[in-house]
Structure 1
């Protein structure tokens, strides 16, 4: 029988993960210099502004990076993990949770680019040149990843292999760096016990 704690964890994970994605997108949008007049960008700005405004007074931007939104993403991930563990009756080690949060946010960062690339490839097949705000945003997220690869790859007469190379690179980083860090820090074992 499913208890109230399990239901609470499910609701917490769903809402918390969605907000974490929005906060991380705020960081990514500034990182890729997206068009903030896009309606989706404006929604992301409005959704993150209440928590980012006070944090920006403490944490300034550095070299064009919006460090406040990155710190907010790590804090949201940390609170989400801590509440999940507490609801499931496990103890919380703040330092370990901080390390797990950084790994979790980094993994989500890679997944955003991975899925943006998938959507971009599908859109290039079914709706090339569309001016939909979501499609424009996806392309703005993908271009900084694909442009350096396109400079290296030779032109194959209209066939763009850069997304395939980008998929390989993102998967290798995930497999060789993120997963190994998660295993080394006990992240998989600790969180799987709680869930």
Structure 2
């Protein structure tokens, strides 16, 4: 019972992070450079996930105008999800 509840909570957390990343990407296209309370809140959740991807991208492909960090963040979330749910 507890493991089912924990699995559900973790599943919701992973889904929330994925939706937050998508929202951050869309908002960066719609309102680039504009800060408001909603974008700042979303950025608080997504930046720790996307920063490693940005660092990796800068090292491998410096000066690339496209930001692939959301894709890298999705891959990281998927790997962590697989590890966590294999343990549970």
Pairwise TM-score range, normalised by the shorter structure: 0.7 to 0.9
1:137-180, CA deviations, whole angstroms, 9 ceiling, x for partnerless residues? 00111111111222222334332111111112223433x34555
1:150 is aligned to 54
Shift of 1:126: 1.1
- Structure 1 regions of 5+ residues with no counterpart? 1-96, 183-195
- Structure 2 regions of 5+ residues with no counterpart? none
1:139 is aligned to 43
Q: Alpha carbon RMSD of aligned pairs, Å?
A: 2.0
Bigger Rg over Cα: 1
Query: Within 5 Å, which residues of 2 pair with 1:43-82?
Result: none
Shift of 1:115: 0.6
Q: Distance in 2 between matches of 1:139 and 1:109?
A: 16
Shift of 1:181: 5.9
TM-score, normalization by structure 2: 0.79
* Misfit runs of 4+, over 4 Å: 178-182
In the alignment of these two chains, the number of paired residues is: 85
Q: Distance in 2 between matches of 1:156 and 1:142?
A: 22
1:4-30, CA deviations, whole angstroms, 9 ceiling, x for partnerless residues? xxxxxxxxxxxxxxxxxxxxxxxxxxx
Q: Distance in 1 between matches of 2:6 and 2:70?
A: 26
TM-score, normalization by structure 1: 0.39
Q: Distance in 2 between matches of 1:127 and 1:180?
A: 39
Q: Distance in 2 between matches of 1:156 and 1:111?
A: 31
Q: Distance in 1 between matches of 2:6 and 2:77?
A: 17
2:77 is aligned to 170
Q: Distance in 1 between matches of 2:13 and 2:64?
A: 32
1:160 is aligned to 67
